């Protein structure tokens, strides 16, 4: 399913269908591009699109009267289907934390009840796991951006990872602080060649500090990097 693009700053359209409070189920139609879903028709009008398994679970049949309770349930299932599909597409690109998915669904204007339902079911399916995400993300960040455990922990906590899980994953992925700091220093020195020595050292220290390295480690790494560059 292709969703329309929204203008920057505009609020996405609600994901819940405009359901009648009463009526009669008069038919079921095929959902375009989704063989696992069906369209529920009430009094000849297309209303909610739900997963086929949900239709079976609800025992929906032709000529079945629509109550206000059933109407609300169909609206929930319609919205959940959209949330679920969007999450699958999101997770397929790369691993996400629970907070990432909650924030993503909120931006798509899903209701909190459906957001929690989607998160719970994705977790039960093993598709959302903060501990696994923390380990994968910390390893990936450390590989792309040599940095301290403190820096990695901070990045993980931005994704809603608990302090305990973030600290554990960061420590395992960070490697030797001096070695990592030296990698950063050597690379940085190449890009700072045109600066005066004092400015070069100031910027080099600042770059390492932003990666979360301690002062003693920074000093040793800078000395070692300069020695390597001069040799």
- pLDDT recorded at residue 109: 93
Strand partners, 1: none
CA atoms within 13 A on the CB side of 98: 18
Give yes or no on whether 23-124 and 177-230 have one common fold. yes
The set of residues, in sequence order, having a beta carbon less than 8 Å from that of 83 and lying 6+ positions away, is 15, 105, 108, 110, 114, 115, 117, 118
10-residue stretch averages of pLDDT, the chain, 231 residues long: 44 77 95 92 96 95 96 96 95 94 96 96 96 96 91 96 96 92 88 84 91 92 83 62
- pLDDT recorded at residue 231: 62
- pLDDT recorded at residue 189: 86
- pLDDT recorded at residue 42: 97
CA atoms within 13 A on the CB side of 16: 16
DSSP β-ladder status, 65-66 and 34-42: unpaired
- Which CATH architecture best describes the domain 23-124? Orthogonal Bundle (1.10)
Give the domain ranges of the chain: 23-124, 130-174, 177-230
Global pTM exceeds 0.75:
yes
CATH for 177-230, among 3.10.20, 1.10.3470, 1.10.10, 3.30.2010?
A: 1.10.10
């Amino acid at each position: 399913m292709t969703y329309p693009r929204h203008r920057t700053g505009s609020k996405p359209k609600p994901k819940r269908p405009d359901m009648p409070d009463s009526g009669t189920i008069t038919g079921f139609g095929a959902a375009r591009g989704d063989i696992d879903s069906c369209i529920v028709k009430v009094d000849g009008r297309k209303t909610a699109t739900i997963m086929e398994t949900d239709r079976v679970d609800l025992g929906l049949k032709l000529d079945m009267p629509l109550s206000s309770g059933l109407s609300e349930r169909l609206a929930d299932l319609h919205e959940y289907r959209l949330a679920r599909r969007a999450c699958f597409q999101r997770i397929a690109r790369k691993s996400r934390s629970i907070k990432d998915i909650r924030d993503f669904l909120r931006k798509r204007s899903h209701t909190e009840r459906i957001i929690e339902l989607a998160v719970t079911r994705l977790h039960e399916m093993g598709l959302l796991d903060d501990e696994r995400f923390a380990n994968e993300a910390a390893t990936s960040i450390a590989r792309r951006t040599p940095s301290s455990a403190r820096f990695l922990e901070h990045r993980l906590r931005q994704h809603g990872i608990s302090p305990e899980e973030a600290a554990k994953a960061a420590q395992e992925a960070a490697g030797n602080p001096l070695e990592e700091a030296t990698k950063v220093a050597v690379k940085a020195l190449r890009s700072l060649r045109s600066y005066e020595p004092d400015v070069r050292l100031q910027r080099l220290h600042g770059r390492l500090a932003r990666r979360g390295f301690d002062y003693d480690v920074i000093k040793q790494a800078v000395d070692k990097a300069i020695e390597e560059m001069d040799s």
